[in-house]
Structure 1
């Protein structure tokens, strides 16, 4: 029986929850965003009545079609289903480009996700930017409450801004989107960003002293959201500071001295 790619439906939830439970050691966010994603270019791959894969295209500021949520159930990997979903989403991107809704396709992936990187390279994507993502636990800090503030264009001091695992370009349209999807905090004059539902933080000053000052406030936000650990996304330019960053209590998920998050981009043609 040929697999079918169709829009996700509410009754797909049990299948999505199973895929999420078996991905990233059960830490996958897919089940948490299921209701939010329904009806918004969220697709599943169905085989013999069972959903075994997912993929999503989110339109971000400046007409970027952001590809995310590409998953294949572990029992069905290695059979080309990831390629089938990826190809389907590229065709969707072309259609949205013809409709004037999308001007570029982008996605982010971890450096060890070799299958996604291979698909990107074979389908015309190029690396647009690189970041480091590091983790830590809240218990290592004396929690300090930051002040919630409204973001402005002046706050966005990075050309490419991580908002969780989505990345937007600095623009007025991005400011509006960030206000709807993220929260900006100020702690003693230092500002950092975090998506409304996540605990991956983006500091807008990445010096060692300022990062050290912000970490207790980030830990406070993570604890408020019921999490005992959190991540920090830093631009690739911090590479010379990595030894000092690690001394602050942050650790790379996997040992590497190179950026471990890649942002890929291509024109939808």
Structure 2
């Protein structure tokens, strides 16, 4: 029986939960966002002999961007071309949406060691749009301090591309409204940072070692209320001070002297 790609359905959830349990040591977010993605649409699964063995999602972001995410293949079925099949499907779906005037480009982010995804992207004409640095922190390394809730303004958005979790949006009025709906904004010592709602991936809105040092106790306080660990997404311009960031109590998943998060883009019009 040939594999088919179709829209996800509520009854697919147990299969998605199984894939999530077997991905990233059980830390995959896919099961947590299943219901939301189902409601949002453009959420697809790869089915083989009645079993869902893969997933892919296309999310509409500001500035007519189709954001590619959630591409997963069950570990038992990897190495058989199913990842490429899902990738090709989402690219073609993106082209359809571009013809309808709904998007103008496809974008996605990936870890720097995800060589298979990077190779596929480059082969299909994607280019690196931006590079970021992801660092991990543990609450136990800091003395948590409660921050204040704050408002997000356009003046706070100093980067041309702003991360929220592992999604990235282009600066502008539409992005500002998008972020206001999906991010919590905190302030401490005059410095603001974003937190993806319900998660502990933080985006500082001021940069430099002193700024980060001032914000870390507040980030630790937010993380303490959730799961005890957190992640910072920083622009590649922070790479020269990576040793200083480590001395502040932050760490890398894999040692590197290059940005470890890549954002890719492929224009469609």
What is the distance in 2 between the residues matched to 1:238 and 1:153? 22
Partner of 2:97: 96
Question: Cα distance, 1:46 vs. partner?
Answer: 0.3
**Residue 144 in structure 1 maps to residue 145 in structure 2:** yes
Q: Tell me if the contact between 1:183 and 1:194 (Cα under 8 Å) persists in the aligned partners.
A: yes
* Number of equivalenced pairs: 268
> Deviation string for 1:45-79 (max 9, x for gaps)?
00000000000000001110000000000000000
Question: Within the alignment, does 1:177 sit opposite 2:182 as a pair?
Answer: no
The aligned residue for residue 236 of structure 2 is 236
Separation in 1, partners of 2:143, 2:5: 48
Give the TM-score normalised by the residue count of structure 2.
Answer: 0.98
Name the residue aligned to 1:62: 63
Kindly indicate whether residue 28 of structure 2 is the aligned counterpart of residue 28 of structure 1: yes
Moved segments of 4+, more than 6 Å: none
The whole-number CA distance in structure 1 between the counterparts of 2:99 and 2:32 is 32
CA contact (8 A) 1:90 1:268 kept: no
Unpaired stretches in structure 2, ≥5 consecutive residues: none
Q: How does 1:102-181 map onto structure 2 within 5 Å?
A: 102-181=103-182
The question of 1:79 aligning with 2:72 is answered no
Separation in structure 1 between the aligned mates of residue 105 and residue 186 of structure 2, nearest angstrom: 30
Residue in structure 2 matched with residue 255 of structure 1 by the alignment? 255
- Do residues 267 (structure 1) and 257 (structure 2) align? no
Mind listing any 5+ residue stretches in structure 1 that lack a counterpart?
A: none
TM-score normalised by structure 1 residue count: 0.98
Per-residue displacement from partner, 1:166-189 (whole Å, max 9, x unpaired)?
A: 000110000100011111111110
The Cα of 1:140 is off from its aligned counterpart by 1.1
**Alpha-carbon RMSD:** 0.8
